[in-house]
Structure 1
Amino acid sequence: MENTEPTTPFQAPSLEELAPLFPAYDIEAFIAQGGMGAVYQAKQISLDRAVAIKILPREFGADPEFRESFEAEAKAMARLNHPNLIGIYDFGDIDGMLFLIMELVHGKSLYHSCYGKAIDPVQASEIIIAVCEGIDHAHDADILHRDIKPANILLSMDATPKIGDFGLAAPMNAAANPEDVIYGTPGYTAPEVIARQPVDRRADIFSIGVMLHEMLTGQMPDEHRTRPSSISGCPMGYDTIVARSTHPDPNQRYNTAAELAEALKKVSSQPASVLNVPAAPVRSAVTMAAPQKKSPALALTLIALVAIAGIAVLANRKDKDPAPATTDIDKPATPVLPSTPTPGSDTSEPVEATSTVNTAPTPSKKTLPPIKQLALLKARLASGARDQFPDTTVERNGSHFLLLKTNFTRPNAEKLAEEHGAHLAILADTDDRKWLMQQFSITRPTWIGAGLAANDSWQWTDSSPWNSADTPGQATVGEGFLALNSHGELIPQPESGRRPIILQWRNDGSNPCTMEEQLKRTTASIEENGLQEARYPVGTRTLGESHFLRINQKVSWDSARELTTKYKGHLPVPSSPEENQWLAKTFASESKTHRFWLGGFLLTPTSPWQWITQEAWHSTGWASGQPSDDSAKNRMIMTLRPGGSAEAWSSSDGKSGEANCLMIEWSEPKKAATAKIGDFDLDQWLASVNSKIQKRVKPDVEEYQQERGQIINGYIRAMKRAARRVEVPGGRRGGRGNDRLTEMVENSMEEVEESGELLTTLPRLAPDSFQEIQTESTAELKKLDDIYQAKLKAHLDFYTKGLLGKATSLTEEGFTQQARELQEKVAAIGEDTSLMLKALDLD
């Protein structure tokens, strides 16, 4: 996953900034902020329901892995429906920030209510039973919590426990990675988690057992697993339950949370005499230390979501004043935001927080601004009904118009319009424009339905004829959409600009300005007039004879290919380095990362990367370390971060969670591939090359071996002659003493002949004649070796340069796997000539 930790402190949006982004909600109050996000209290207007809205920083939304995890966990948690689990209502992306709409619990955390207290055993049982029932429901949905503790249990106003903070939730029996950071909270975490073993629901049962012990005694279990009854005087029947649920061996614990709950129901319902209550009265436990904070090294999801929830809880208790010991849980009185699951979403564009039809009494329109009234009418307007509009709507020539003074980026403005059955106003007639200026007080540039299309031509989104007199001045780079200013003039603006909008509803219920309708007209136009004479949607950009359009739609690679084909186009093919640079520069945003599929794919692990148009391949767009050597990642995606880099390609498995938009290209292939595309047999090619290099190197090897053998043989002969000539003191030349020396030297020379190496050392008292032979032969051999190594080094350079050159060529042809293998072979040989000889079978 990419590093999503903000480089600057997260600044929580103000209530005023959030209000236009969530028109279906009244943002009532700021609750808490952490370094990784913020939470707000709000009311869902249509249902008159209190909710909590959690906002994450944009850095998280820019991380595809985090977004994918966020969405998967949100969907999993939203499917859970239990009175002891905090509900998830909605999630998504708004203006680049991931958000979560969830149940707002008015109450305190169990940690706050039970901190350092031994509470009544029956009341503790009721709470733990409810927790077990909620967790068992999650377990049945194949979800583990993995961080159960009092701080993550909220008590509502009637003391109903509600479990939150599924930030560490994972599928059942998830495999452990030895390199992963240990998750959970010290003291509550099961031993198998710490040992990085696969875990199941019994890990959560361990945590619940620890929590039960803490509620009964006011203390965490100690290393001796002391019985709760001996600490607080609680009924001894609870000792067995705590001992079993917190057993170090998961096989000795309860199999399910439901079993633990049943055991507690039986024990808590029995009379005290049956429970063997000790004579000692129930006493308050000593104040325990607060649970340790999680390590900064814990998973990023945990940091992002738990930190906020923790602040929300702590903000509603006095940390410096320990709670008094008592045998009853304090009844909650203060609204507190619960810790919540770690859900997520991949959506790249802001979505309306809810589309629920209003079933609650509708507030008086007079008390609501137009954007709030619009939220209440969303379902009717989207369905085509035209009998109700916000109060300030005006009608002219079969259409209704509404000015929203709230600021929106251009993509958000179009999205909001379409979701409410409207489009940005079409003002092709100057009289309509003058009339609208009289109806509305337009004081600053306001979005309307016009912008640049193919060939840098200005166009209305419903394809109304363009009046050349309306053509604005020269637009700078990025100013591809039009706004209406206070003088009634059309001026170019960048899509990231935040502007008010004018909405238009056609009384007949039609909407010719949706992207789908524009694309249908483009398809018909291509069929009738051909690619170069066709009419393309607003937002299309042209390079030469190629037209490109970015659409805010998240799809998989295969679905993207189907859609682009449906509209007579194809996935974008940056068929030259220059086109790739233009694409990066043209579609890079000032503040948002865009990821879209390219028309590149890998058919088999040994085939080359190729374009769907069969154009000639080039590889100048791969990011560092790309493409992956994972054969499953056989599709291409382009990532454009603010400021855009042309080296932005990466390989992917093609699933929908990675791309946050769709790019269509309309063009004819510019240059067909010059060679037939097929597999490249690297082993066969390498064998052929090695055979040729072997023929170049082999004569030098053989010459060296011959000359070296001559030096060794000369050394042996010289040593033997010298031995026979040595005069042994006290004897005579050729006598018995000389015979012994000759025998010793001949034995040594046999070893030299067998090893092919000179003696490494001579005896300290060896005659000078032996030393002279050793020195002379060593010098000859070194000179020969130096000459030979110089020749081998030249061969090595020639060989490795040839391999690297082929690797470069293969990369350009799309054979990235084979190119990588060649590069790895060259790196393995390095500067070692002996490894080259081994590769050539000449060692």
Structure 2
Amino acid sequence: MEESRRFGRYRVTGTLGAGAMGEVFSAVDDVLGREVAVKTLKGHRNALAARMIDDRFRMEARAIAALAHPGVVQVFDIDLEADPPYLVMERVAGPSLKDKLERGPLSVHEVRVLGIQIARALAAAHERKIIHRDVKPANILAAGEGAWKLADFGVAHVPDSSLTMTGQFVGSPAYASPEALVRGQSDSEGDVYGLGATLYQAACGRWPRLDGAPSASLIPPVPPLATLAPSMPPEIAEVIDRAIALDPGARPSASELADALAGASSTQSGTRPAGPVARPVRWQPFAFGGGLVALTLILIFATRGGGAPATPAADPPPAGAPIPPPTSMSAKDTQKVLEKVEKGEYRDALEKIEEWEEDNGGPTPETQSLRQQIEALGDEPSRGRGRGKGKRKKGD
């Protein structure tokens, strides 16, 4: 019986959810008598994969603990030595914003309050150079009395960490910024985009990019919010539109977004205040691929000194414009590599990398680094295997 399970001093009272990486339970802390949420990890066959996932779990706990912000679900405890390892967090009553939006859009006042609270939570994270990277309605929880909390820092980038996520924990393409979707660029501007997309959906009941899967070669245009939510006050509609600007530098920071919403009226006023001056792209932690693999980051952060910023990328193309071939592996491709590594099939993992290179114009610094890391794991990979031999045919 589920209720008889325990994790140390935490007595399970029910199941909140389950996924490929583990489960989340409701529980009671028998010492303090409070309700908590216990997040567990499933076991893994391969020691390397298990270590990477444990490190990601520890990183998530540290990311949340470092914030200690009322707009972020808090972490209370962690035990990586338990079987299975578990993380104890604040129990938020819910529902998620995703569940709430299934019943229709929020009121103007609710959109404004939601935006202020989550933008301030993101601003606190960004001050510590923590990037959430998966801001979306499903990761925002109702905490009661009009309060909202940002949850699931499992894919976050944390400074001075050799690991940010595993192939299982990836961002959500429908809410990803164009630069994240196309180039795998992860930064604070991307978090603002995710929140802007969330507020857009909360205001009008739909997010246009949910109507079809995002394309790797085409960024679908998003109409101005006022066209879908004409009752939204102009100053609120415009700041949300700026948050989802294609150009990252044209978006407000999370702090600016919170301030703009706080200063806006919840009623139609007819005034249209000027927005903040477009900012250049700021600190950008190095990342690649929408599904950034932990194994890759272990090596890349080691060779780049961890916090070294990436060279700013070119501005995103206009909406609907063709996009050059990707220069970094997608979530799907990197997941395939990680699956092979977890099974100990290092040669097959290398072949997956070479297949991607053949389809995308040759090796990149990222794929070369990943190959070196896999080759260093054991004797199975062929270190001197000649490139170009035994090439697969297109369509294989």
For the aligned pair, the TM-score class normalised by the smaller chain equals 0.5 to 0.7
Spell out the pairing of 1:370-385 with structure 2 (5 A cutoff).
none
Q: Distance in 2 between matches of 1:215 and 1:170?
A: 26
| Matched positions, count | 274
**Larger strand fraction of residues:** 1
Aligned residue in 2 for 1:26: 11
Whether 1:272 and 2:289 are equivalent positions in the alignment is no
User: What amino acid sits opposite 2:236 in the alignment?
Assistant: Y
Whether 1:252 and 2:239 are equivalent positions in the alignment is no
- Residue of structure 1 aligned with 2:173, choices 176, 186, 197: 186
Spell out the pairing of 1:434-453 with structure 2 (5 A cutoff).
none
Q: Distance in 2 between matches of 1:119 and 1:88?
A: 29
Whether 1:225 and 2:185 are equivalent positions in the alignment is no
Spell out the pairing of 1:639-654 with structure 2 (5 A cutoff).
none
SS at 1:143 equivalent: coil
User: What amino acid sits opposite 1:144 in the alignment?
Assistant: I
Q: Distance in 2 between matches of 1:212 and 1:240?
A: 12
SS at 1:154 equivalent: strand
Spell out the pairing of 1:557-706 with structure 2 (5 A cutoff).
none
Aligned residue in 2 for 1:10: none
Q: Distance in 2 between matches of 1:191 and 1:200?
A: 12
Aligned residue in 1 for 2:37: 52
Whether 1:87 and 2:74 are equivalent positions in the alignment is yes
Whether 1:163 and 2:153 are equivalent positions in the alignment is no
Q: Distance in 2 between matches of 1:134 and 1:89?
A: 18
Per-residue deviation, residues 794-827 of structure 1 (Å, max 9, x unmatched): xxxxxxxxxxxxxxxxxxxxxx9xxx99x95xx8
User: What amino acid sits opposite 2:155 in the alignment?
Assistant: L
Contact 1:229–1:238 under 8 Å retained in 2: no
SS at 1:127 equivalent: helix
Contact 1:144–1:172 under 8 Å retained in 2: no
Per-residue deviation, residues 121-166 of structure 1 (Å, max 9, x unmatched): 1221011110101111111121111111111100012231011011
User: What amino acid sits opposite 1:218 in the alignment?
Assistant: G
Spell out the pairing of 1:79-158 with structure 2 (5 A cutoff).
79-115=66-102, 117-158=104-145
Contact 2:64–2:72 under 8 Å retained in 1: no
For the structure 1 residues 173 and 195, does the alpha-carbon distance in structure 2 shift closer, same or farther, using more than 3 Å as the test?
Answer: farther
Which ranges of structure 2 fall in alignment gaps of 5 or more residues? 210-219, 273-289, 295-370, 387-396
Aligned residue in 2 for 1:420: none
Aligned residue in 2 for 1:726: none
Q: Distance in 2 between matches of 1:241 and 1:125?
A: 11
Kindly state the Cα deviation for residue 73 of structure 1 after the two structures are TM-superposed. Answer: 2.8
Kindly state the Cα deviation for residue 193 of structure 1 after the two structures are TM-superposed. Answer: 0.4
Q: Distance in 1 between matches of 2:32 and 2:161?
A: 38
Question: What's the TM-score, normalizing by structure 1?
Answer: 0.30
Kindly state the Cα deviation for residue 207 of structure 1 after the two structures are TM-superposed. Answer: 0.9
Percent same amino acid at aligned positions? 27
Per-residue deviation, residues 670-692 of structure 1 (Å, max 9, x unmatched): xxxxxxxxxxxxxxxxxxxxxxx
SS at 1:47 equivalent: coil
For the structure 1 residues 124 and 67, does the alpha-carbon distance in structure 2 shift closer, same or farther, using more than 3 Å as the test?
Answer: same
Q: Distance in 2 between matches of 1:160 and 1:41?
A: 20
SS at 1:51 equivalent: strand
SS at 2:64 equivalent: helix
User: What amino acid sits opposite 2:55 in the alignment?
Assistant: E
For the structure 1 residues 224 and 37, does the alpha-carbon distance in structure 2 shift closer, same or farther, using more than 3 Å as the test?
Answer: closer
Kindly state the Cα deviation for residue 56 of structure 1 after the two structures are TM-superposed. Answer: 1.6
For the structure 1 residues 88 and 60, does the alpha-carbon distance in structure 2 shift closer, same or farther, using more than 3 Å as the test?
Answer: farther
Which is bigger in relative contact order (C-alpha 8 A, separation at least 6)?
Answer: 2
For the structure 1 residues 71 and 196, does the alpha-carbon distance in structure 2 shift closer, same or farther, using more than 3 Å as the test?
Answer: same
Aligned residue in 2 for 1:545: none
SS at 1:59 equivalent: coil
SS at 1:42 equivalent: strand
Q: Distance in 1 between matches of 2:95 and 2:104?
A: 15
CA-based RMSD of the aligned residues comes to: 3.6
Contact 1:15–1:29 under 8 Å retained in 2: yes
User: What amino acid sits opposite 1:110 in the alignment?
Assistant: L
Spell out the pairing of 1:492-503 with structure 2 (5 A cutoff).
none
SS at 1:107 equivalent: coil
Higher-Rg structure is 1
SS at 1:169 equivalent: coil
For the structure 1 residues 88 and 162, does the alpha-carbon distance in structure 2 shift closer, same or farther, using more than 3 Å as the test?
Answer: same
Kindly state the Cα deviation for residue 67 of structure 1 after the two structures are TM-superposed. Answer: 1.6
For the structure 1 residues 40 and 202, does the alpha-carbon distance in structure 2 shift closer, same or farther, using more than 3 Å as the test?
Answer: same
SS at 1:207 equivalent: helix
For the structure 1 residues 94 and 203, does the alpha-carbon distance in structure 2 shift closer, same or farther, using more than 3 Å as the test?
Answer: same
Kindly state the Cα deviation for residue 298 of structure 1 after the two structures are TM-superposed. Answer: 5.2
Per-residue deviation, residues 343-372 of structure 1 (Å, max 9, x unmatched): xxxxxxxxxxxxxxxxxxxxxxxxxxxxxx
User: What amino acid sits opposite 2:140 in the alignment?
Assistant: I
Spell out the pairing of 1:394-409 with structure 2 (5 A cutoff).
none
User: What amino acid sits opposite 2:222 in the alignment?
Assistant: R
Whether 1:261 and 2:258 are equivalent positions in the alignment is yes
Per-residue deviation, residues 570-598 of structure 1 (Å, max 9, x unmatched): xxxxxxxxxxxxxxxxxxxxxxxxxxxxx
Whether 1:38 and 2:35 are equivalent positions in the alignment is no
Question: What's the TM-score, normalizing by structure 2?
Answer: 0.61
Kindly state the Cα deviation for residue 244 of structure 1 after the two structures are TM-superposed. Answer: 1.2
Contact 1:121–1:268 under 8 Å retained in 2: no
Q: Distance in 1 between matches of 2:112 and 2:185?
A: 29
Which ranges of structure 1 fall in alignment gaps of 5 or more residues? 1-12, 277-296, 302-627, 634-649, 652-815, 829-843
Contact 2:75–2:90 under 8 Å retained in 1: yes
- Residue of structure 2 aligned with 1:205, choices 192, 199, 202: 192
SS at 1:212 equivalent: helix
Contact 1:136–1:257 under 8 Å retained in 2: yes
For the structure 1 residues 80 and 61, does the alpha-carbon distance in structure 2 shift closer, same or farther, using more than 3 Å as the test?
Answer: farther
